[in-house]
């Protein structure tokens, strides 16, 4: 029987099970941290980030939080994640006083006391995991101040046969065997493989951002083996936000 990607409680359980090996495994992924830092730079926060509020949506063990800090070391950063054990790994690290972590599903932020407006939202490897990505992108738009920026950093299904084959080969030839070797459990990494293969390609995800009422939508890939598979997507909450009237993809950067 064909399996669907994991969602909600099952997904949080899979991330909790994989939390202790997560940093080790992503550390073996060449370019993982560098590409997160590149996306954080592409967010384009001014200066050292002093006075800015940034939401790290799906912060996990804090790799994306660290990337945000490299681009905006003095920003206030709120990291939110649904998986307790992933957050425990994040909290165990050293952070400047402006960083805090909240245990919550991204869908339940108000109930967890996390309120906008944010100047920027960074969502690394989150959106393809959501049960209702369109509804949640609209909710993220409403958490931004008018003119605020969302940066989505994620793998997308390949735009051509070569990138799609590369994704299957990397997952089944390297990532899943490495997870077996490190006893991290393969459930999370089989989910990674499936959730990417079944998700949007980059133009489709950019169109999804437009459909959620963002403007100035543009995307660019990253260097390394991830080229053509992983992208940074930038999207802006319109200054005049007419309740999410769909925008347009304005530009595609190489
Ligand atoms: C692949 S990890 C990425 C972590 C981090 N952003 C990074 O770049 O390394 C995805 C994270 O999103 C979290 N996540 C998935 N769905 C979520 C949801 N609906 N609400 C909050 N967190 C969620 C998972 O628990 C997991 O920690």
Could you read off the pLDDT of 215-248 as tens digits, one per residue?
999 999 999 999 999 999 999 999 987 665 666 6
What phi and psi values does residue 43 have, to the nearest 5 degrees?
Answer: -60, -30
Q: Is the CB of 15 under 6 A from ligand 1?
A: yes
* pLDDT per position as a tens digit, 71-130: 999 999 999 999 999 999 999 999 999 999 999 999 999 999 999 999 999 999 999 999
pLDDT of residue 37 exceeding 80, the answer is yes
Question: What was the pLDDT predicted at 207?
Answer: 97
Centroid of ligand 1 to alpha carbon of 240 (angstroms): 30
Give 240's contacts (C-beta < 8 A, 6+ positions apart): 146
The CATH number given to 33-157+200-249 is 3.40.50.150
pLDDT of residue 198 exceeding 60, the answer is yes
Between CA 109 and CA 53 the distance in angstroms is 15
Helices (H), 106-213: 133-143, 161-170, 176-181, 187-197, 202-211
Residue identifier of the C-alpha nearest atom 4 of ligand 1: 60
Between CA 195 and CA 138 the distance in angstroms is 21
Give the H or E element holding residue 172: none
User: What is the token pair recorded at 153?
Assistant: 């950093």
Q: At what angle do helices 32-42 and 8-27 cross, to 10 degrees?
A: 110
Closest atom of ligand 1 to 59 CA is 6
Give 201's contacts (C-beta < 8 A, 6+ positions apart): 156, 157, 158, 159
Give the Cα-Cα-Cα angle 104, 134, 202 (nearest 5 degrees): 110
Of 29-38, 44-53, 184-193, the one with minimum mean pLDDT is 184-193
Asked if the peptide bond before residue 117 counts as cis, ω within 30 degrees of 0, the response is yes
Give the H or E element holding residue 122: strand 118-124
Q: Is the CB of 143 under 6 A from ligand 1?
A: no
Residue identifier of the C-alpha nearest atom 14 of ligand 1: 58
Give 14's contacts (C-beta < 8 A, 6+ positions apart): 6, 185, 187, 188, 191
Between CA 30 and CA 178 the distance in angstroms is 13
Question: What was the pLDDT predicted at 48?
Answer: 95
């Amino acid at each position: 029987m064909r399996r669907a990607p994991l969602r909600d409680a099952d997904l949080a359980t899979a991330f909790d099970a994989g939390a202790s090996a997560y940093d080790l495994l992503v550390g073996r992924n060449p370019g993982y941290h560098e590409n997160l830092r590149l996306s954080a730079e592409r967010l384009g926060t001014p200066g050292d980030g002093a006075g800015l509020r940034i939401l790290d949506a799906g912060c996990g063990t804090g790799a994306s939080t660290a990337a945000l800090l490299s681009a905006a070391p003095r920003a206030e950063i709120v990291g939110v994640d649904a998986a307790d054990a992933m957050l425990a790994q994040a909290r165990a690290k050293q952070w400047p006083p402006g960083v805090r972590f909240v245990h919550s599903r991204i869908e339940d932020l108000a109930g967890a006391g996390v309120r906008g407006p944010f100047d920027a939202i960074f969502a690394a490897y989150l959106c393809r995991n959501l049960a209702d990505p369109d509804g949640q992108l609209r909710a993220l738009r409403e958490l931004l101040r008018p003119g605020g920026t969302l940066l989505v950093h994620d793998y997308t299904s390949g735009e051509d046969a070569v990138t799609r084959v590369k994704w299957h080969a990397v997952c089944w030839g390297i990532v899943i065997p490495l997870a077996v070797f490190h006893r991290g459990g393969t459930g999370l990494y089989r989910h990674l493989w499936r959730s990417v293969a079944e998700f949007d390609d980059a133009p489709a995800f950019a169109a999804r951002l437009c459909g959620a009422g963002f403007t100035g939508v543009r995307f660019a890939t990253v260097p390394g083996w991830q080229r053509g598979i992983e992208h940074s997507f930038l999207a802006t909450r319109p200054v005049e936000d007419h309740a999410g009237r769909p925008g347009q993809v304005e530009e595609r950067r190489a």
